[in-house]
Amino acid sequence: MGLSESYNIEKKALKLLTKKNPDWEKLVKECVAFANAKGGKLIIGVSDKESHPPSTQTIPDGLQNKIQSRINALTQNCSVTFPVKIVDPNRGEYLEMIVNPSKQTLACTSDGRYFIRIADESKPLYPEDITTVLAEKNAYIWETQTHKKVPFTQINQEQLNHFVSVIQKSDRVSNFVKEKDPEELMEYYFFKEGRLLTNLGILWVGTRKDRAKLIYPPTIQFIQYDEADKKVYKVSLDDYSLNPIEMLKFLMEKISVLNESIEISDGMYRANVFHYEPEVRRELIANALVHRVYTMRGDITIKLFIDRLEIHSPGQLPFGVTAKNILTASVRRNELLAKVFCDLKLMEKEGSGYDKVYETLLSNGKEIPKVEEESDRVVVTVNRNIVNPEVIKLIDNASKEFQLKQKELICLGLIAQHNLLSSTELSELLSITKPNGIRSWLGRLLEWQLVQKRGTGKGTEYFVNNRYLKSKGYKGKTTLKRIEVYRLKELIMQDLKTYPESSIGDIQTRIGKEIKIGRIRKILNELLLGSVIDKTGTLRWTRYSIK
pLDDT 10s digits, 93-103: 999 999 998 87
Helix (H) or strand (E) segment spanning residue 413? helix 406-418
Burial of 448 (0-12, 13-18, 19+ CB in 10 A): middle
Residues 421 and 243: their CA atoms lie apart, in Å, by 44
Q: Check which CATH number belongs to the domain holding 343 and give it.
A: 3.30.565.60
Report pLDDT digits (tens) over 370-388: 999 887 789 999 999 988 8
pLDDT above 70: residue 272: yes
Asked if the structure places residue 59 within a domain, the reply is yes
pLDDT above 50: residue 248: yes
Q: Check which CATH number belongs to the domain holding 459 and give it.
A: 1.10.10.10
Q: Is the dihedral of CA 403, 409, 412, 418 positive or negative?
A: positive
Asked if the structure places residue 73 within a domain, the reply is yes
Asked if the structure places residue 261 within a domain, the reply is no
| Same structural domain, 419 and 304 | no
**Torsions phi, psi of 489, nearest 5?**
-60, -45
Are 460 and 453 a contacting pair, CB within 8 Å?
yes
End-to-end CA separation in angstroms for the chain: 47
Of 522 and 321, which is predicted with more confidence?
Answer: 522
Report pLDDT digits (tens) over 435-477: 678 888 999 999 999 999 988 877 788 999 888 887 777 666 6
Residue that finishes a domain, picked among 357, 377, 401: 357
Residue that finishes a domain, picked among 91, 113, 135: 135
pTM: 0.71
| Same structural domain, 495 and 425 | no
Where are any strands of DSSP class E within 330-388? Answer: 370-373, 377-383
Sequential DSSP letters for 235-264: EEE-SS-S-HHHHHHHHHHT-GGGG-EEEE
Report pLDDT digits (tens) over 397-432: 898 889 999 999 999 999 999 888 988 889 888 887
Asked if the structure places residue 172 within a domain, the reply is yes
pLDDT band at 1 (very low <50, low <70, confident <90, very high): very low
Query: Mean pLDDT: which of 98-102, 295-299, 329-333 is highest?
Result: 98-102
Helix orientation angle between 389-402 and 406-418, rounded to the nearest 10 degrees: 150
The one-letter code for the residue type at 319 is F
* pLDDT value of position 414: 93
The one-letter code for the residue type at 434 is K
| Same structural domain, 146 and 120 | no
* pLDDT value of position 5: 65
Query: For 168-193, what is the mean pLDDT?
Result: 94
Bridge partners of residue 197, in order along the sequence: 192
| Same structural domain, 249 and 352 | yes
Distance (Å) of CA 326 to CA 316, 357, 368: 13, 12, 12
* pLDDT value of position 262: 87
The closest alpha carbon to 82, from 115, 42, 110, belongs to 42
Are 40 and 80 a contacting pair, CB within 8 Å?
no
* pLDDT value of position 475: 67
What percent of the chain clears pLDDT 70, i.e. is strictly above it? 93
Helix (H) or strand (E) segment spanning residue 426? helix 423-429
Sequential DSSP letters for 289-301: HHSS-TTS---EE
Q: Tell me which residue range forms the domain holding 249.
A: 222-256+275-357
| Same structural domain, 102 and 18 | yes
Q: In this structure, how many other beta carbons lie within 10 angstroms of the beta carbon of residue 20?
A: 4
Residue that finishes a domain, picked among 308, 339, 357: 357
| Same structural domain, 21 and 116 | yes
Tell me the residue length of the chain: 547
| Same structural domain, 148 and 115 | no
Report pLDDT digits (tens) over 20-45: 899 999 999 999 999 988 888 999 99
Distance (Å) of CA 97 to CA 8, 39, 90, 465: 12, 11, 20, 46
| Same structural domain, 238 and 352 | yes
Query: For 61-87, what is the mean pLDDT?
Result: 92
Per-residue buried b or exposed e for 401-438, using 16+ beta carbons within 10 Å of the residue's own CB: ebebeebbbbbbbbbbbbbbbbbbbbbebbbbbeeebb
Asked if the structure places residue 367 within a domain, the reply is no
| Same structural domain, 226 and 339 | yes
Query: For 58-69, what is the mean pLDDT?
Result: 93
pLDDT above 70: residue 128: no
Asked if the structure places residue 416 within a domain, the reply is yes
The closest alpha carbon to 342, from 286, 281, 278, 293, belongs to 286
| Same structural domain, 69 and 128 | yes
- Average per-residue pLDDT for the chain: 87
pLDDT above 90: residue 163: yes
Asked if the structure places residue 217 within a domain, the reply is no
pLDDT above 90: residue 318: no
* pLDDT value of position 361: 93
Asked if the structure places residue 423 within a domain, the reply is yes
* pLDDT value of position 143: 85
* Alpha carbon 523 to chain centroid, angstroms: 35
Q: Check which CATH number belongs to the domain holding 31 and give it.
A: 3.30.950.30
Query: For 289-316, what is the mean pLDDT?
Result: 89
| Same structural domain, 233 and 182 | no
Report pLDDT digits (tens) over 485-520: 888 999 999 999 999 999 999 999 999 888 888 889
Are 342 and 276 a contacting pair, CB within 8 Å?
no
pLDDT above 60: residue 12: yes
CA atoms within 13 A on the CB side of 398: 29
pLDDT band at 349 (very low <50, low <70, confident <90, very high): low
Specify the number of domains making up the chain. 5
| Same structural domain, 202 and 234 | no
Are 405 and 440 a contacting pair, CB within 8 Å?
no
